[in-house]
Each structure stands twice: as C-alpha cells, then as structure tokens.
Amino acid sequence: MNQQFLKEIEIGSKNALVKKRIITHYIYSGTSTITDLSKELDLSVPTVTKFIGEMCDDGYLNDYGKLETSGGRHPSLYGLNPESGYFIGVDIKKFAINIGIINFKGDMVELKMNIPYKLENSIEGMNELCKLVLNFIKKLTINKEKILNINFNISGRVNPESGYSFSLFNFEERPLAEVLTEKLKYKVTIDNDTRAMTYGEYMQGCVKVEKNIIFVNISWGIGIGIIIDGKVYNGKSGFAGEFGHVNTFDNEIICHCGKKGCLETEASGAALHRILLERIRNGENSILTERVATENENPLTLDEIISAVAKEDVLCIEIVEEIGQKLGKQIAGLINIFNPELVIIGGTLSLTEDYITQPIKTAIRKYSLNLVNKDSVIMTSKLKDHAGIVGACMLARSRMFED
C-alpha cells in the first residue's frame, strides 16, 4: 500500500474519499465491473475508469479478467489486490487470546488460536498482551510495512470512534487506541468484542442476505450486536447492546457492573460457573465434582463445563437449559422490539448447541408476539469460537476505509 494514499486518507482529500468508497464497495461485494461501480457510487463511467486505472497502477486493485456475458461485450471485473495490505485482529478471552491476519481481500493468512494469556485489568496485563502481538508479528513472513491496522476486541464499554475503552485497560487520560498505537508502532483501532463477533458473522458467517440481525453473545458475560439495514448499530457513544446489564431479576446478586439483578447474574457463562459450583458444593453429582475441589488454585473454565455438557453430564445440562430458558424469555422481548430477520445465538455457550438453543427457541415462542416471531429465524453461530477473531480482522480492514 502506497504511503501517499494513507496520508491522503488521514487528511481526507476528495480523491482519497472516492478511493475509500471504492475500496469499501469491494470489501462488501468482492468483484464488479466499472459500470456496476459507477451506478453504485453515482459517478460517471469516465470518472470511475480514471480512479480504477490509478488504483490498479498503485496496486490496490486487480483486473480479474473478463466477465462472461451472453451479449457481445465482455467488461472487465475488478476487485481488491490481496497483497496490497494486511490487517491484524486480536480477540481477547478470559484465559487466552486469538491473533489473526488477513490480506487485503479478506482471506485469513495466519491464525493462532488460544495463545495462553490470563486477562487481568492491569498495566502488566496490557503490556503482556502487546508482547504477544509483537511476537506474532515478528514471526510473520510478509513485509511488515504492509500491516495497515490492528484491531483489538475489548470487552465492556468501548467507543470505537474516539478509541476510548472505559472498562478494560483504562489507565490513562487518553484513548486506549492511542496508547496501543504508541506501544506497538502500528495503527490501532479498538471495538467492543460482541460487536466484532457480530461483524465477523455478518461478513463470513451464517448471514446471507439478511440486513436486520441480532447477534446474542453468550460468553462469560452477555451482550448483543445489532445490525440495522446492513449497518452495525453503535449507539451515540458505542455503548449499544449492553443486554447483559438489563435489570431482569429481583435477586441480591451483585453484578460486576456494581448493580443488582442484571440479566448476567443468572443467565450467562459467569452464572453457569457460579451456579454449578454452588450445586456441586451442596452435594449434587457431576463429573466435575473432583475438579471443583481444586477450583481455588485453578479456576474451572467455561470450556471445561462445555466439555462436561458434551459428555452428557446431567447437572451441567440442567443448568445450561435453565439459563437458555431465562435468556429466551428476554430475547423474546428483543424480537418484539426489533423485528429482526435473523437472531444468531453465538459466544462460548453456543458451543453447547441444542442444549442452549432449544430452550431459547421454546421461550421465544412462548413469550414473543406470534406475528412478530414468525419473521425471525433463530440460528446458531456458524463461525463459533472464530467469530471474534474473524470480526477483529475484518474490522481492522473496514475501519481504515469508513467515511
């Protein structure tokens, strides 16, 4: 990627804006002809031809050959040149991180899943994270100057536009994106983890033509990603989708947000973990009974609980089902409000497949309006535990070229 163009993007020249729109068009549509592109951008064919010529010369676009048509004319198809730039995504979990890199066309070039990392909200935790990312970059065989952006998925309140994180790694008076840019010496953007998963699923997962989508991330916490008319909805400051902190239960359980009775306190990975420990300690049987005895030194992970479900541990299954019912009742409310075409059940707990989705579906039918829920297809995430990393990489690319 030519440094001149990157500078133009920063300054926001008129030509750079048109080029950004052309790149964004190809991000979403793959390849197209000059005629289609001129219609899409509402620009004349000669103007578009001039821009395409320049962008091919500069290496952002490739001529992908003639389109086969029944008529006499065979217009050329253009698309992104995979080698003109690379984008890195970083997906942070509670006990590991995933790092991936895509080329300009969006193909995953290198992916490292489950790199051991213990998430701690401390400066040391942040420095360790940077070390792992730099280590990943060091081992890459591509030209490092072609890495154009790194996007981090951050849990909690995040403003993607200003680059501020308010829940995690918020140690300075300036945006986290700026702090990370300084530490890594590459451009950095950040976004909320659930929103990144939603975007990943939208770009490369189970979404086909649907434009109105709710993605439910059931992991340690609960969040939703909202897509309205094909656009990810952020809200005013990027805080939209905090479904897990809707006051739902009349209980005395204090949520990590500091309030009582949040949805997350009884229906989330954290709740599954807490309830399972309580019930095992009260003498109920589970294949995890012995494992729980060492919980204090070595915390039980959600992955371990999910594999117990896969081994048909009755206690774990029962708790997952109860969580599914409680969540389904609240998702029914979301369906009444948003009338989505598609509701995607994703996140770590979605790996329990039918054990969680069946009670969710039953509760949705029971508690949402009949006419409304007929419009909504309920699906399990196709990308599963890759949704976050795919989304992080895709966001690293699209965030560079947004208007």
Residues that bind Zn ion (CB under 5 A): 245, 255, 257, 262
Q: How far is the CB of 271 from Zn ion (least distance, A)?
A: 11
**Closest to 378 (Cα-Cα) out of 226, 214, 205:** 214
Half-sphere exposure of 87 (CA within 13 A, CB side): 27
Closer to Zn ion by Cβ: residue 116 or 258: 258
Report the residue number, 154 or 394, with the smaller CB distance to Zn ion: 154
Number of alpha carbons in the 13 Å side-chain half-sphere of residue 216: 31
**Which of 100, 192, 149 has its CA nearest to residue 386?**
100
Dist CA 332 CA 242 (whole Å): 16
- Is residue 260 classed exposed, middle or buried when 0-12, 13-18 and 19+ CB atoms within 10 A define those classes? middle
Q: Minimal distance in Å, beta carbon 264 to Zn ion?
A: 5
- DSSP class of residue 27? H
CB closer to Zn ion, 15 vs 121: 121
Kindly tell me the sign of the dihedral angle through the C-alpha atoms of 194, 199, 201, 207: positive
Supply the minimum distance, in Å, between the C-beta of residue 242 and Zn ion. Answer: 8
Instruction: Closer to Zn ion by CB, 133 or 262: give it.
Output: 262
Q: How far is the CB of 262 from Zn ion (least distance, A)?
A: 3
CA atoms within 13 A of residue 242's CA, in its CB half-sphere:
15
Quick one: 41 or 257, whose CB is closer to Zn ion?
257
Output 19 or 245, the one with its CB closest to Zn ion.
Answer: 245
**Rounded CA gap, 16 and 7, in Å?**
9
Question: CB-wise, 211 or 260, nearer to Zn ion?
Answer: 260
Q: How far, CA to CA in Å, does 45 sit from each of 38, 51, 64, 121?
A: 6, 10, 18, 53
CB of 354 to Zn ion, least distance (A): 28
Closest approach, Cβ 254 to Zn ion, in A, equals 9
Q: Which is nearer to Zn ion, 245 or 273 (CB)?
A: 245
Q: Closest approach of Cβ 243 to Zn ion, in Å?
A: 10
If you ran DSSP here, which 8-state letter would residue 300 be given?
A: P
Q: Which amino acid is at 275?
A: I
Q: CA distances (Å), 84 to each of 79, 80, 142, 152, 303, in order?
A: 12, 8, 11, 22, 38
CB of 222 to Zn ion, least distance (A): 9
Side chain identity at residue 259, one-letter code: K
CA atoms within 13 A on the CB side of 142: 21
Closer to Zn ion by Cβ: residue 252 or 403: 252
Whose Cβ is closer to Zn ion: residue 255's or residue 335's?
255
Helices 269-281 & 314-338 angle (0-180, nearest 10): 150
Q: How far is the CB of 286 from Zn ion (least distance, A)?
A: 27
Cα angle 363, 367, 370 (rounded to 5 degrees) comes to 110
Neighbours of 20 (CB within 10 A): 18
Distance of alpha carbon 400 from alpha carbon 104, whole angstroms: 11
Shortest Å distance, C-beta 106 to Zn ion: 35
- As a whole number of angstroms, the distance between CA 74 and CA 33 comes to 10
State in angstroms the smallest separation of the CB of 259 from Zn ion: 5
Instruction: Specify the residue, 152 or 243, whose C-beta has the smaller distance to Zn ion.
Output: 243
